[in-house]
Structure 1
Amino acid sequence: MLGFVATIFIARFLGSETLGIYYLVLSTVAWLGIAVKMGVPSAINKRVSEGDDGAAYTIAGGTIVLGLFLIVAVLSLLFHQQINDYIGYPAAAIVVLFLFVTAVQSTVNSILTGQHLVHISGIFNPIRTGTRSIVQIGAILAGFQITGLFIGYTAGYGLVSVLGLWIAIRHFDTISLPTEEHYRRIVSYAEYSWLGEIRSRAFNWVDVAVLGFFVSSSLVGIYTAAWNIAVFLILFGGSLSETLFPEMSSLSADDDSESVAELFEAALTYGGLILIPGLVGGTLLGERLLRIYGEEFTRGATVLSVLIVATLIQGYQRQFTMTLDAIDRPDVSFKVNAVFIGANVLLNVSLIPIFGVVGAAAATASSVGISLVVAYIALSSLVEFSVPVGEIGRQWAAAGIMGTVIYICLQFETVSAIASNIAVVLILVGLGAAVYFITLVAISARFRTTVDQNLPVDLPLVRS
């Protein structure tokens, strides 16, 4: 939430052009970061989660990432002029700094997840975002402008990297140096999982990267503001994947395919819990949500709706590829990701020159939809599972009722000033969330049971 607020603050104080430059820097870091990581953090996660020689696998993976970083850093500085020309700002050195802190943080996070410390790595995400946001806002108010954005980003990632590494080391029973076998097993997994890294970057950054060649920094800023809202909704699905992966991995190692299937079906059940009402609410309130960033951002209302569709599909697709990785079939996940990347690049390059930012959003949604179909076919050939159509349908029904209430409320108000717009958005979002969850509790016995089991107090109204 604080990251969302910080983006609004940045947009209103520095404008869409500065926001666009900042996100072009992040896009460049994301793509160069693929060469730095090459799937190694995913391999560390997998091997550490298996329970043996965790420290040795960590050291093996960490030294590989460090070596790759040094190579990419040198090349980035050699070609600094090309990087600066693309971004439209002298940021090559900043790109190298960001590459380092993101590589360290990703590696540390993979260790914690592999150690089944998902609750800790999950806490670090808001700590990282909160630190980054607070420092960025403070630096902007102090007059640092775009430099304040760079300072805050580095501070956020640096803090959680140091804390996370300290905790991870304390949870190793013994510290042992890696052998050739440890390196071989890291590389054998990473040679497939690296495409998953590209797949993640493609979903988040292909559109922004291609937009950088065809539209102004201002339009990139408007697009990323809409993307920021859409991605905010997918956080729950991402947390669910991180939580279930080590459990699935452990069960798969014990050849317990039935329990893996049960966990996967649970993931599908709740994968769209937030995204489905988010799509309905985002479509109805899109222009008002973007007006919070500033009047110039309202041009992205259509883009926002399409991007929320993309994140909804991605929320389900992620559960499929996560399960493929957990059952030690990164080769199959590799093929699924290859389909997505190919479709995403092709559609973005084809649609952006014609339709601009709307084409970028449509390309992302279409490509992730294609990959979802491929992932379904691939996983169903390996694991017997059933799609919880009933539960997903009930979530759509609750979202439909929520949407109807919001639509009726919108007929009785007219937004004029920014202040009143913020008040209207907050009220309608809160009302919509209440209507959605109350309705879902009423119509879904499974959801009532889940709520009852996870609440710290007994509420008779939610019992089945």
Structure 2
Amino acid sequence: MRLGQTSIVHFASRFSASLLGFIATIFIARFLGSETLGIYYLVLSTVAWLSIAVKMGVPSAITKRVSEGNDEAAYLIAGGTIVLGLFFVISFLVIISQNRINDYLGYPAAEVVVLFLFVTLTQAVVNSVLKGQHLVHVSGVLTPIRTGTRSLIQIGAILAGFKIAGLFVGYTVGYVLVSVLGLWIVVRQFDAITTPTVSHYRRIISYAEYSWLSEIRTRAFNWVDVAVLGFFVSSSLVGIYTAAWNISVFLILFGGSLSQTLFPEMSSLSADENPQSVADLFETALSYGGLVLIPGLVGGVLLGEHLLRVYGEEFTQGSVVLIVLIVATLIQGYQRQFTTTLDAIDRPDMSFRVNAVFIVTNVVFNVILIPYFGIRGAAVATASSVFVSLLVAYGSLSALIDFSIPIGEIGRQWIAAGVMGMTVYAGLYLESTYGNVRNIVLVLVLVSFGAIVYFSTLLLISRRFRTTVDQNLPVDLPIVQA
């Protein structure tokens, strides 16, 4: 029950944070214009890529070692000092190269890059300890606090006339606030503050030397296709592709929350017993990995054009791209559960191999397909590379533990999605025949009604889903009693 509630809290927190960030972005764009917004996101992009060199997989290693339940403070100090040293090295390189960086950014913001790098690094380390302490829901709640604080300060600063400087201040304050709150919670959980030994450093580094590639994998999953598209298609087509990508990625939030929730539990079990002990949790992860993505795919097929029309009429030409990208995120949702389990049983070397396969195939497929098929080629390249990495992940994990694929539960999710699809299709038919509803209203109504139909159907046909819902509701409801 606790794991289910933790996943729901984490998912709701990430959803709220995404919504707050979306609202703030619209406000910034309308009041400061595209140029200022572009500079701001160039700074964030630069920080994101530099953070890979600063973190080097250490936060993931901290989560792993802390989740094992021994010497938590020592591992925090060891990991923190490693990333602090890397931060000083990267910051020095940024400062001596600030003229080139400022030219690239179009604004004198090299010092801001260093500041952002520090606050994001601090928050990442604190967050990694919270996850290792099985407080994933707490780390999730801190995300909308950070985003909400940042957004409110940025909007207030813009109204006060501070322009881009207000964006920088809001970002910094948001990260500092949650870092302080998170560190206070972390320290209260420690039984004792111990000094790290050489062994602690070695165990952090031994895990981090493989886990750092997962961060590059995340960047590749989000940005390789867009980067390659920039060489071959117009900026308008890149914009259409990005709009479709944002919709598809939104559907993967629940799967990410599930994997982050289960990781420390799997890690603890693996450390206390043996790798096979995590099999049940892994099968649970597979059971619910497509809970949102499967109906999302059916909905994308039926409502793709309508969803993209919310951005503007020209975006509807990306409807096929949207469908393919949702397929990619569906595969990614399952693949993530495999790599999370590999990391949890202390086999980051195999997770490293899976991530390396994805990165290489993603780059190669994009370079081959985009020149001939444009944005559709980029979508197919992403989906294909994720599928290849899923096959490698399956082979790697099946060699270590015995598990079964919950085909029955996944099949019931597809049946419920099919029932949902028929009702949505009926709604589209009725609207096209008898109505003249505004597109945004039609989308909201059909998405909401489709979600109700899907989850209601799943409650009726899936005993496991009814049991899960019943165990995680704060009150007893007869309708969900197993």
How far apart in 2 are the matches of 1:302 and 1:91?
Answer: 39
Q: For residues 264-314 of structure 1, give each alpha carbon's deviation from its aligned partner in whole angstroms, at most 9, with x where no partner exists.
A: 000000011011111221332233333334455445433332222221111
Q: Contact 1:20/1:218 (CA < 8 Å) preserved in 2?
A: no
Tell me which residue corresponds to 1:35.
Answer: 53
| Per-residue deviation, 1:325 | 0.7
Q: Contact 1:20/1:224 (CA < 8 Å) preserved in 2?
A: no
Q: Which stretch of structure 1 is more off in the superposition, 15-24 or 53-62?
A: 15-24
Q: RMSD value over aligned CA atoms?
A: 2.8
How far apart in 2 are the matches of 1:131 and 1:220?
Answer: 31
SS in structure 2 at match of 1:69: helix
The change in CA–CA distance for 1:79 and 1:456 in structure 2 (over 3 A counts) is same
SS in structure 2 at match of 1:344: helix
Is 1:410 matched with 2:434?
A: no
The change in CA–CA distance for 1:362 and 1:114 in structure 2 (over 3 A counts) is same
- Specify which of 219, 224, 229 is matched with residue 206 of structure 1: 224
- Specify which of 146, 157, 170 is matched with residue 128 of structure 1: 146
Identical pairs, percent: 73
| Per-residue deviation, 1:436 | 0.3
Q: For residues 128-168 of structure 1, give each alpha carbon's deviation from its aligned partner in whole angstroms, at most 9, with x where no partner exists.
A: 33333444455555666666554444343332222111211
| Per-residue deviation, 1:214 | 5.0
Tell me which residue corresponds to 2:368.
Answer: 350
Tell me which residue corresponds to 1:96.
Answer: 114
Tell me which residue corresponds to 1:391.
Answer: 409
How far apart in 2 are the matches of 1:450 and 1:118?
Answer: 19
Q: For residues 374-410 of structure 1, give each alpha carbon's deviation from its aligned partner in whole angstroms, at most 9, with x where no partner exists.
A: 0001000100000001111111111111122112211
How far apart in 2 are the matches of 1:254 and 1:139?
Answer: 51
How far apart in 2 are the matches of 1:30 and 1:198?
Answer: 10
Q: Contact 2:58/2:205 (CA < 8 Å) preserved in 1?
A: yes
How far apart in 2 are the matches of 1:86 and 1:345?
Answer: 24
Amino acid at match of 2:19: F
How far apart in 1 are the matches of 2:233 and 2:152?
Answer: 30
The normalised TM-score by structure 2 is: 0.87
The change in CA–CA distance for 1:216 and 1:85 in structure 2 (over 3 A counts) is farther
How far apart in 2 are the matches of 1:352 and 1:61?
Answer: 41
- Specify which of 243, 252, 273 is matched with residue 234 of structure 1: 252
Is 1:307 matched with 2:328?
A: no
Residue segments in structure 2 that go unaligned for 5+ positions in a row: 1-14
Amino acid at match of 1:329: R
| Per-residue deviation, 1:7 | 2.5
Residue segments in structure 1 that go unaligned for 5+ positions in a row: none
Is 1:4 matched with 2:22?
A: no
How far apart in 2 are the matches of 1:314 and 1:462?
Answer: 30
Tell me which residue corresponds to 1:327.
Answer: 345
The change in CA–CA distance for 1:142 and 1:224 in structure 2 (over 3 A counts) is farther
Q: Which stretch of structure 1 is more off in the superposition, 73-82 or 108-117?
A: 73-82
Q: Which stretch of structure 1 is more off in the superposition, 8-17 or 367-376?
A: 8-17
Q: Contact 1:440/1:447 (CA < 8 Å) preserved in 2?
A: yes
Q: How does 1:59-74 map to 2 (within 5 A)?
A: 59-74=77-92
| Per-residue deviation, 1:91 | 5.0
- Specify which of 357, 367, 381 is matched with residue 339 of structure 1: 357
SS in structure 1 at match of 2:53: helix
- Specify which of 369, 377, 386 is matched with residue 395 of structure 2: 377
How far apart in 2 are the matches of 1:154 and 1:422?
Answer: 35
How far apart in 1 are the matches of 2:369 and 2:43?
Answer: 23
How far apart in 2 are the matches of 1:459 and 1:284?
Answer: 33
| Per-residue deviation, 1:319 | 0.5
Tell me which residue corresponds to 1:365.
Answer: 383
Amino acid at match of 1:7: F
Amino acid at match of 1:164: G
Is 1:284 matched with 2:302?
A: yes
Tell me which residue corresponds to 1:179.
Answer: 197
Amino acid at match of 1:276: I
Q: Contact 2:61/2:211 (CA < 8 Å) preserved in 1?
A: yes
The change in CA–CA distance for 1:82 and 1:414 in structure 2 (over 3 A counts) is farther
Tell me which residue corresponds to 2:448.
Answer: 430
Q: Contact 1:28/1:209 (CA < 8 Å) preserved in 2?
A: no
Q: For residues 200-237 of structure 1, give each alpha carbon's deviation from its aligned partner in whole angstroms, at most 9, with x where no partner exists.
A: 22212323344455556655544433333222211111
How far apart in 2 are the matches of 1:143 and 1:353?
Answer: 45
How far apart in 1 are the matches of 2:300 and 2:369?
Answer: 23
Q: For residues 177-207 of structure 1, give each alpha carbon's deviation from its aligned partner in whole angstroms, at most 9, with x where no partner exists.
A: 2122211111111111111222222212323
Amino acid at match of 1:126: P
Amino acid at match of 1:365: A
How far apart in 1 are the matches of 2:98 and 2:432?
Answer: 50
Amino acid at match of 2:196: P
| Per-residue deviation, 1:103 | 1.6
How far apart in 2 are the matches of 1:141 and 1:217?
Answer: 31
The change in CA–CA distance for 1:235 and 1:131 in structure 2 (over 3 A counts) is farther
- Specify which of 76, 83, 93 is matched with residue 75 of structure 1: 93
Amino acid at match of 2:380: A
Q: Contact 2:20/2:148 (CA < 8 Å) preserved in 1?
A: no
- Specify which of 276, 285, 289 is matched with residue 271 of structure 1: 289
Tell me which residue corresponds to 1:160.
Answer: 178
| Per-residue deviation, 1:62 | 0.6
SS in structure 2 at match of 1:413: helix
The change in CA–CA distance for 1:455 and 1:265 in structure 2 (over 3 A counts) is same
SS in structure 1 at match of 2:190: coil
Is 1:445 matched with 2:460?
A: no
